Structure 1
């Protein structure tokens, strides 16, 4: 079972992370040459690293009533890396407890049947239970008891073969297509999406799912959703099943997320391209919205083959159907989906003003004047860092007036210059080459092919940008760049992406001019390069090459992914590396780490089971209860008995003395 799962995860990563950006970024040749020379000299002499001589946090804004950061921020002893092939549990810092809280198949709705270890339950049961591959999540507290009662909202990114008793079933057809069983596809669609749970801490201090709650809800790939913003009703959003272009069935590949100050949840559709196929090669090549976003081309889809039983995933044009069949269906995914967790009867909304991306997250930063920025990474090699600035302002005294703020604004892509300055490039039709002559008929076309628009503007291709985190005091912004070991000519070296064979990734940060989220320029530096310490050796005792050496001050790790700040200013880092690869011989299983933004010290707080990504992070408002997700464990977690079916699981972490996590 573990072997089957592990091979699935590797194959899917290879599909998800492939480079789709055709831009050459030739204006960065000078940066490339200088960065390459400095990296090859020894790995530590980085052009961008010395730009500022220290943390940007020295310029913190003054907030009335805010407490200054107290050093040291971290009061726990770091745990050791785990490299054993049979490690099948969680190791957490001394004094802390890590307990499985909510696993794939657990009840969401009260009518859900108990989960079965043989995975024999059907799709109707799955619609009532927790979906697969838990990812981004957030705890929404109730005002009367904010640290003891709230809604836990959890993304379910994709599905593993372990969802079925005997894995994925395919029948190979003579014409090269693959046929899937309808019941398997329906169960897979049901296991995607979002879970909403009401949870409460009981009189003995134990957190429990609240039975009979009106708030419990499962949102899936079959849930109707409203299209809003500039693309609502647009001809490029219309399909045979939705001639109006206003209602989409479902959400897919829900990775990370964001929250709004008006109390809604923003789930992000990341690698949606894996679910579609356009079998007409000439048509596929003529559509930038298919080609640039990696929509499958050929007789079968990239992985799932849902199109064999669900026509809307076959994006091949059909001249005999209205709107050419389902050729526009991929246009209806890749958006931010806004969900009101406090209204179980509300319809999720796809906010098209924010642009169509393989979006990892939607992290909001609020200015003193109510202006906002929503930051995102587009998780593929050579893609971009983004910011959306709504036209309106948030009024905390009138939250209802903010409910449609995300329907109007300007989308920006980032350019990171070699001198440590950066600029936000606006995606506005008719400006800087975003014209009909370059394939953009109107603003809707720009938003639909935001990647292609950023190519023309000269945004900086990045090493797989993923989660973003905003410091609670300074508004300094951090982004994880997970890795890029297939750089090629289309994802060149530069000051922000300085390693030629980037197996370990890096964390980059910037400060908007004036600490204003709506600014269009910023100052940036590299917070750290992940990887081994200088002098490290491989399994045979041989020195590691320079590209595997990082700049971490403290506990080493590979492939940063999840990222979040707590209220005390601690930066929490989650990893998604391949622990069976040669370059992770010393970093081992994936981890949750904590970093001090001022000193750059990093400590390993938790290590997850073999085969798992550590992802998703949220706290109670007092930061004394922490939840994280263990996604796609490889052996038998959370049972950890060596033979049970592994289950993606939300894990709850507390300190035995009730102290603030990490303090």
Structure 2
């Protein structure tokens, strides 16, 4: 990773994980024991293993029936610039930033100019969550749909972004065009390998410049009205699209994550009292945290302007942070922002579908000390009439999780008039609850978590797994508790939920700690001393840090993707970021793939037969996929197959 690329990436990540939760919600330790000294005095590892007694037993070696591949070693070389995958598999670049998507798009060039019209038709930057949609009745042809989360400076020929000066409009437009979503048709070729269909009518780019319809409780509401959209019914664009979800009726859900970093409100007095800005961490001085778009595009300046209708663009931030539904099979269909889901820095919308057609979507709010949510639509899906389900996402109940120290939990309804969400407490209507979902969860008494990110639902048991990526402030800014048991939680952990009766719509659940990420117990540092307790994990198998992306395949294997700064001293034994696989029954973890230095591994999708898997290499740091040490690095989708043509992982 070059110094400029490394420095810029680190700055963006630091914005993403800042703790801004001001609530005084009690931790689980406070509920269980008013004094935390007894937990801390005995040593952190003792406290953890004492509560989660079953985990220590699982640290013994086991032979998993699900993990039928040989694990790959960590890669510690600081100049490592390629991908290593398990023996018997191949991983090849399939779709990279700048590749043509729509008709008329030019091929990517390492010396490309700031041509935003071309970027509108090319693959966006920083590939993230994705899903595969098969054509009806076909298994060898489908649409691969993926997010493009944000952009890197190498998007521009100069490989720099200067936020100290007004931004050139063409540069800003190119950055906006590189956000969003790509839809590409893929098929299995005559040789059995998957290829792109370059001339497909389904190929489509959706970006920050694509008009989108607002639907649900906030459609047309005063909180959504701006000088550029006085009716509050149509938003231009989607941004910071991270993880995803799918619906039973075959649409793609893209989730707007760290959108607050794109806006600024310089009116200090207004900012201090405007919950919809302050609670989400908008900038209040200088420039916005990402890219300073407001210097070229006024709608990102959310400072109230009394001289303009609707206060100018003060409500523009309210129009982001939603779940956006996209019909991949209808290139002319307008994307829809579904406001019943609530607004926060949503990481995903993981579906759990009951036998009766009722469903829930699980999400993490990616920041230190934020919450785990689920949304339960009011209606149910009728598989015999999928078109009738198209508006199910416009009505339902948003919940936030409260985790009790005894392993039980409750879903707290974020509904106006319930759980303290009244006008007297600042919530005049359900619209205010949904726009200010973080503040609503504060008031309701949800449990603050260590950067909750992706969720995944087991395809048969409906167990819900949630990654808590890390939190270096836990124990100082936020007290320790049983669900977040480590101070300076640099390596993160994964929780597992079981809904009462395996019912996605239940309001009670049980939970346990699936694993604590980190070094193997007994590991010694370079100084010969044991690694501190807060850096050791409970992993049965290969070590990992900072679990982020999470997905199940059809056989019930849990795939785990990591996201950490691979040059940090605490990560010296972790090497480059990884894709691992876990057996939910034995908790064994095995490393399947290692990416190039500087990257994050993110996004997973499978072909219907399970014989092809796609995974993303986001923001590689040196020159991947050229891997020549010279070419600008490009976020890239990998196609992973078995050499013998078999099922991945089997």
State the shift of 1:33 in Å. Answer: 6.5
State the shift of 1:211 in Å. Answer: 2.8
SS in 2 for 1:14: helix
SS in 2 for 1:296: coil
Matches within 5 A, 1:512-591: 512-591=499-578
Residue of structure 1 aligned with 2:220, choices 233, 247, 258: 233
- 1:359-408 C-alpha deviation (Å, 9 max, x unpaired): 00001101111110100000000000000000000000010010010100
Unaligned runs of 5+ in 1: 56-69, 173-177
Say whether the 8 Å CA contact 1:25–1:490 is kept in structure 2: no
Within 2, Cα distance between the matches of 1:338 and 1:368? 23
Say whether the 8 Å CA contact 2:112–2:157 is kept in structure 1: yes
Residue of structure 2 aligned with 1:159, choices 140, 151, 161: 151
- 1:583-627 C-alpha deviation (Å, 9 max, x unpaired): 111111100000011111000000000000000001011111000
Residue of structure 2 aligned with 1:79, choices 63, 72, 80: 72
Say whether the 8 Å CA contact 1:36–1:498 is kept in structure 2: no
Within 2, Cα distance between the matches of 1:590 and 1:256? 18
SS in 1 for 2:603: strand
Residue 392, structure 1, aligned to residue 379, structure 2: yes
SS in 2 for 1:186: helix
Counterparts in 2 of 1:166 and 1:539: CA distance versus 1, 3 Å: farther
SS in 1 for 2:46: coil
- 1:633-656 C-alpha deviation (Å, 9 max, x unpaired): 000000111111000000010000
Residue of structure 1 aligned with 2:340, choices 353, 370, 390: 353
Greater displacement, 646-655 / 28-37: 28-37
Residue of structure 2 aligned with 1:290, choices 277, 281, 289: 277
| Residue 430 of structure 1: aligned partner | 417
Say whether the 8 Å CA contact 1:35–1:498 is kept in structure 2: no
Residue 251, structure 1, aligned to residue 256, structure 2: no
| Residue 252 of structure 2: aligned partner | 265
Matches within 5 A, 1:477-488: 477-487=464-474
State the shift of 1:171 in Å. Answer: 6.5
Counterparts in 2 of 1:27 and 1:134: CA distance versus 1, 3 Å: closer
| Residue 107 of structure 1: aligned partner | 100
RMSD: 1.8
Within 1, Cα distance between the matches of 2:49 and 2:464? 16
Within 2, Cα distance between the matches of 1:31 and 1:638? 51
SS in 1 for 2:495: strand
Residue of structure 2 aligned with 1:322, choices 309, 313, 327: 309
Residue 334, structure 1, aligned to residue 326, structure 2: no
Matches within 5 A, 1:202-241: 202-241=189-228
| Residue 447 of structure 2: aligned partner | 460
Residue of structure 2 aligned with 1:610, choices 597, 600, 606: 597
TM-score, structure 2 normalization: 0.97
Say whether the 8 Å CA contact 2:413–2:419 is kept in structure 1: no
Say whether the 8 Å CA contact 1:105–1:126 is kept in structure 2: yes
TM-score, structure 1 normalization: 0.95
Within 2, Cα distance between the matches of 1:18 and 1:363? 24
SS in 2 for 1:21: coil
Counterparts in 2 of 1:49 and 1:455: CA distance versus 1, 3 Å: farther
Say whether the 8 Å CA contact 1:314–1:327 is kept in structure 2: yes
Number of residues paired by the alignment? Answer: 644
State the shift of 1:540 in Å. Answer: 3.5
Residue 45, structure 1, aligned to residue 53, structure 2: no
Unaligned runs of 5+ in 2: 57-62
SS in 2 for 1:278: coil
State the shift of 1:286 in Å. Answer: 1.1
SS in 2 for 1:297: coil
State the shift of 1:209 in Å. Answer: 1.5
Matches within 5 A, 1:190-201: 190-201=177-188
State the shift of 1:534 in Å. Answer: 1.2
Within 2, Cα distance between the matches of 1:415 and 1:536? 34
Say whether the 8 Å CA contact 1:49–1:525 is kept in structure 2: no
Say whether the 8 Å CA contact 2:86–2:593 is kept in structure 1: yes
